[in-house]
Amino acid sequence: MKLGNLIESQQLTPDILFSLFKSADEIRANPKLFSDVLKGKVVATLFYEPSTRTRLSFESATEKLGGSIISTENAKEFSSSIKGESMEDTARIVAAYADCIVMRHYEEGSAKKAGGVINIPMINAGDGKGQHPTQALLDLYTVYREIGRVDNFKIAFVGDLASGRTVRSLCYLIGKFSNIEVVFVSPENLKMKDDIKEYLERHNVNFREEQELSKLLPEMDVIYMTRIQKERISVEDYEKAKGRFVINKDNLNLVKKEAIIMHPLPHVEEIDLSLDIEQNDKRVAYFRQAENGLFIRMALLKMLLE
Amino acid sequence: MKLGNLIESQQLTPDILFSLFKSADEIRANPKLFSDVLKGKVVATLFYEPSTRTRLSFESATEKLGGSIISTENAKEFSSSIKGESMEDTARIVAAYADCIVMRHYEEGSAKKAGGVINIPMINAGDGKGQHPTQALLDLYTVYREIGRVDNFKIAFVGDLASGRTVRSLCYLIGKFSNIEVVFVSPENLKMKDDIKEYLERHNVNFREEQELSKLLPEMDVIYMTRIQKERISVEDYEKAKGRFVINKDNLNLVKKEAIIMHPLPHVEEIDLSLDIEQNDKRVAYFRQAENGLFIRMALLKMLLE
Amino acid sequence: MKLGNLIESQQLTPDILFSLFKSADEIRANPKLFSDVLKGKVVATLFYEPSTRTRLSFESATEKLGGSIISTENAKEFSSSIKGESMEDTARIVAAYADCIVMRHYEEGSAKKAGGVINIPMINAGDGKGQHPTQALLDLYTVYREIGRVDNFKIAFVGDLASGRTVRSLCYLIGKFSNIEVVFVSPENLKMKDDIKEYLERHNVNFREEQELSKLLPEMDVIYMTRIQKERISVEDYEKAKGRFVINKDNLNLVKKEAIIMHPLPHVEEIDLSLDIEQNDKRVAYFRQAENGLFIRMALLKMLLE
């Protein structure tokens, strides 16, 4: 019931998940009790591509536990890399200076490869088209906190389901729990891929695809919105998809009082709510979701490093 | 008598100023007493344009109080920003990870806007042509320490008074005290703008403009030199202004023994003194002025976060 | 027997070296005893060119002693530098915020110049074609730990001896001890320069040049491999030198059981060993060498700052 590293969502068994959720709740309730947990420990954030938010979240989590950070957001231009050093060697050297590596890389499988040659914990903070397991972790933790359970609920995934790594990763976790109903809502050209559908089938998760948001909203417990990832698709695909599914003041009225709107952020036009609504409507959960990322990463670092 | 954030110099009342000066003096006298003040606290330096010195000063101030830092100097290319996220949303997310945001932005009014949507203190570390209130704060603190009072003194502002944000900000503070005589000395093409002159008039501060430095030097208590901001003016304007007003070994002799030369730094040709003079002549105050920045920022962070 | 700063290898007397080695061993044996040594202290890593590994090593060393870091890897584009500030002035300002400066600069002699105008310790982390004294320090510390003595041994320096700063710096330290036999093995076009040979002669160190690696390997205690520095030589020179001297599975068999392979890293084709051998053969010392860098830098910071 203890992890040695975190490379992919599949490692997160229900036991480990509940243990992390409980720990995150405890840390949130009394952070001062945990302010020396990582004293004397150094976490390296080794980012081969920038992801400022993910990096800042891990760094804050480390520091709030009393640990310290060594960091590079330009590991691709790491002075050793450009001299021809392999990623594995770079990881080995950084492992000589640190007690844990948090790695972001542009190639799928990198975290696994680098994790295999070091003797300290490796956390995958995103590996290309692969996984981003701590995002799935914070997403499920948000469901847990906001609707009070991780089974027996209805969730709609809305938007660009073809490119989005977060939805895919969260589906892996959903497969571990029961009585979850999944609805995929996406433009024709950005549908969820078959591998995830097959995974859900294998794990007996009911899912279906829909095209009309307004019909769905009244029955959902969680509406998980995603951005159309302009940078990963063609201009034509973007123009077709843009603005196709939007949460605004009008259809927010259709959402159940106790349901929540999630979003991995950044959001653009797919959320069209005034500042006032974003600040005061309890159903707008995505800024709390970001905050949950801090506490669940603290719990994870504590589990891996204590 | 307590601040919730610091967006503009006008917020700094005499009461708050003296409270900060006293606190800065106490910290300087016995830094070890304050080394846990920010324990467990995280300060985010969110810089949309680089300002290495200001950033390092705030980061050191935080760390010397026992706090930690999360930081980006490339917030403009913040991975979320380039995906279309608003500055306000970025601030909200960073606020989920941190206990205070220190923001530098290229647009006037940004600190106010971002500060309005977060529930943690915001410190404006420069917003375009707007303000840089902690620079004004450290400048007045330097006058306080060096000449022993913040009223009843004579100050000459010398150089590029049209582009310089620091002189403008300090004038706002000068308007809060009495019996200060201000002299503006600048090339014809880089004169102090009317808004500040009107502000001083409204606050009954005597000011005048002069063109001859040597005549003034013997009567001044503070000579506040500034750099001609080459990067903000035309080549012609620069050529006209460059080297027009310089402090050198010869005219330093005209300066009163107990007067001081200040400069927000970096200085170039407008200060033409040998290393020996810079290191040994007590009137050269600008490196002590930089050091004052550290202590007054510690006092400010303590006030905002304790 | 105490250093005030570290600008060049020549400052490292045998007394100081042994004191640092002993301190590094003590820290390694019980790091928790030293986790508050730098509490409240701030170290500035002021890098005018990137050297991610060296920077991370110093930063981890600082943090593991309880100190904090302020850092820039773009000091060349330091906002003050581009406005015309001298390196000395930049150092003076940074010295106002920090308790120690670790500086990397592209110009020989920079560390000495900047160190001369500040009143806090300066550590040279590489100054152009000049020195990199902490690399020499960690190299000799590795010899000390791995073969148990720093005199009375045989060492072969292999590879690009014309461009390599590390071999040159280590030779300065070797000159301080007795009964060391040095063999230089390099392509004709990348031979060790005369100044080092003369230095070794003056200090009565026996050295010779060889061209056949296999003949040498059986008698050496230390084989110090170096990378052909492609980026500093012509394409022709690189093609001639590339792959000329390689350690591989076959000739590793010629190396004494108790001898070690060192390398300042990153390594490329001059080390051609499988992962399995790199992880299990005790003679592969270069990853331990990198780890030694952490502990010896902790010892150095402790000596300079305590």
To the nearest whole Å, the CA of A218 is away from the closest chain B CA by 27
Question: At a CB cut-off of 8 Å and minimum separation 6, what does B9 contact?
Answer: B131, B133, B136, B137, B169, B170, B172, B173
In the B/C pair of chains, how many CB contacts fall below 8 A? 70
Question: Looking at the domain assignment, is residue B261 inside a domain?
Answer: yes
Q: How many residues does chain A have?
A: 306
Query: What mean pLDDT, rounded, does chain A reach?
Result: 93
Q: Are residues A271 and A162 in the same domain?
A: yes
Catalytic, C104? Answer yes
State which residue of chain A sits closest to B79, comparing Cα positions: A51
Question: Which of chain C's residues have a Cβ under 8 Å away from the Cβ of A90?
Answer: 266
On the question of pLDDT at A74 being above 90, the answer is no
Pick from B35, B52, B275: CB nearest C80: B52
Contacts of C66 in chain A (CB under 8 A): 40
Same domain, C204 and C68: no
CA distance to partner chain B, nearest, from residue C126 (Å)? 21
Q: Which of B64, B105, B132, B267 is catalytic?
A: B132
Q: Quick check: is C125 in a domain?
A: yes
Please write the tens of the pLDDT for every residue from C219-262.
Answer: 999 999 999 988 778 888 888 888 899 999 999 999 999 999 99
With beta carbons less than 8 A apart as the criterion, state whether C91 and C118 touch.
Answer: yes
Lowest mean per-residue pLDDT among A75-79, A185-189, A191-195, B136-140: A75-79
CB C154 within 8 A of CB C220: yes
Q: Is C272 on the interface with A (CB under 8 A)?
A: no
Is the pLDDT assigned to residue C210 strictly greater than 70? yes
Shortest distance between the Cα of A88 and any Cα of chain C, in A, equals 10
Q: Is B3 a domain residue? A: no
Q: DSSP labels for C101-144?
A: EEEEESSTTHHHHHHTT-SS-EEEEEETTS--HHHHHHHHHHHH
- pLDDT at position A282: 97
Look up C227 and say whether it is catalytic.
Answer: no
Q: What does pLDDT average to over chain B? A: 93
Q: Does B298 lie in the same domain as B269?
A: no
Same domain for A155 and A39: no
Are residue C210 and residue C114 in the same domain, yes or no? no
Tokens of C186: 């390099």
Catalytic residue annotation of A: 53-54, 83, 104, 132
Distance of CA C160 to the CA centre of its chain: 15
Collect all residues of chain A within an 8 Å Cβ-Cβ radius of residue C63: 42, 68-70
Note whether residue A3 is domain-resident.
no
Is B34 part of a structural domain of the chain?
yes
- Rounded-to-integer distance, Cα A50 and Cα C101, Å: 27
Min Cα–Cα distance to chain B from C67, Å: 9
Q: Are residues B108 and B214 in the same domain?
A: no
Q: Which residue has the tokens 């980012």?
A: A47
The answer to whether residue B149 is catalytic is no
- Are B218 and B70 in a shared domain? no
- Total domains in chain C come to 2
Tell me, yes or no, whether A281 and A148 share the same domain: yes
Confirm or reject contact between C132 and chain A (CB < 8 A). Answer: no
Q: Do A42 and C64 touch (CB under 8 A)?
A: yes
pLDDT at C10 over 70: yes
Confidence bin at B78 (pLDDT 50/70/90): low
More confident of the two residues A41 and B50:
A41
DSSP state of B284: B
Predicted local distance difference test score (pLDDT) of residue B81 = 67
ipTM of the complex model: 0.93
Asked if A94 and C56 come within 8 Å (Cβ–Cβ), the reply is yes
Domain membership flag for residue B104: yes
C16 and C52 assigned to the same domain: yes
Residues B149 and B69 in one domain: no
Q: Is the peptide bond before A187 cis (omega within 30 degrees of 0)?
A: no
Interchain CB distance below 8 Å, B117 and A279 = yes
Q: Is residue B4 part of a domain?
A: no
Q: Is the same domain home to C117 and C252?
A: no
User: With helix as H, strand as E and coil as C, how does chain A read?
Assistant: CCCCCECCHHHCCHHHHHHHHHHHHHHHHCHHHHCCCCCCCEEEEEECCCCHHHHHHHHHHHHHCCCEEEEECCHHHCCCHHHCCCHHHHHHHHHHHCCEEEEEECCCCHHHHHHCCCCCCEEEEEECCCCCHHHHHHHHHHHHHHHCCCCCEEEEEECCCCCCHHHHHHHHHHCCCCCEEEEEECCHHHCCCHHHHHHHHHCCCEEEEECCHHHHHHHCCEEEECCCCHHHCCHHHHHHHCCCCCEEHHHHCCCCCCCEEECCCCCCCCEECCHHHHHHCCCECHHHHHHHHHHHHHHHHHHHHC
Which of C59, C266, C275 shows the shortest C-beta gap to A85? Answer: C266
Contact B153, B222 (CB under 8 A): yes
Does residue C215 surpass a pLDDT of 70? yes
Tokens 């300065």 identify what position? C172
List chain C residues with CB under 8 Å of B64: 40, 42, 68
Instruction: Identify the CATH number of the domain in which residue B185 sits.
Output: 3.40.50.1370
**C-alpha–C-alpha distance, residues B19 and B26, integer Å:** 11
Best interface-test mutation with A: which of C58, C63, C74, C232 has the largest number of A CBs within 10 A? Answer: C63
Please tell me whether residues A282 and A138 are part of one structural domain. Answer: yes
- Owning domain of residue B196: 134-290
The more confidently predicted of residues A87 and C139 is C139
User: Does residue A4 sit within a domain?
Assistant: no
